A and B are shown apart, each in its own frame.
Chain A
């Protein structure tokens, strides 16, 4: 059955400690994810990501809460899909990074994003869901696409 888990990974030619810094330090996170980051890497800490949403410079803020910090193996946070600054189980998803050593000096970085199907559905949330998390579907819809190609059109 289709589900809404995103699961991607990549192998990096660097030790886990180095990868860890890139995924947890705010001045690094702005280089691959959000435009501004307020984050303290401590379980239970809350912060936010700020994304510049369009060319007019409109900013969208997403509340986040750190769930687990196990350097350099596991880093997980929840982030809200609501623009109202709240963060609850039904308006957030869990992003989880796992780092494993791959043949000595390399690191496999895996990211999963779960909880999409528990999202409540106000209009704003729906819109943000579509924009931010649509990629989560593709993983599973690839299979659906294959079935469609094979089946009666």
Chain B
């Protein structure tokens, strides 16, 4: 999977409400829209919409169990995202390290 072209995934997670739903799913393993709705300050309809967006991005999957539809996080997909992001996490760390080197050099040489 290349995340670079994966706009759907990033826009899916960019919404704070969706991150909340995703967070709950990570914690609970799997859940129905109704049980999720009990833990968020928005309606079940909104939860259903967020789940659809997360599903479209490949981040959650659904399965039918009797009359219930249960959702769960697609762990490998999220894991890929985590890895890709971890690689980028170092961007600011690298910049800070460069700043450190430049400042310490300037300080040592009295510039």
Contact = CB atoms under 8 A, between A and B. Distances in A.
Interface residues of A, number: 49
Interface string A35-67: 000000000000000000000000000000000
A130 B4 contact: yes
A148 B78 CA distance: 9
Contacts of A18: 103, 106-107
A135 B103 contact: no
Interface of B: 3-4, 6-7, 10-11, 13-16, 19-20, 22-23, 26-27, 29, 73, 75, 78-79, 81-82, 84-86, 88-93, 95-100, 102-104, 106-107
12 contacts: A3-B16, A8-B92, A10-B100, A22-B103, A32-B95, A109-B100, A117-B16, A130-B3, A135-B85, A138-B86, A148-B82, A152-B29
Contacts of B90: 135
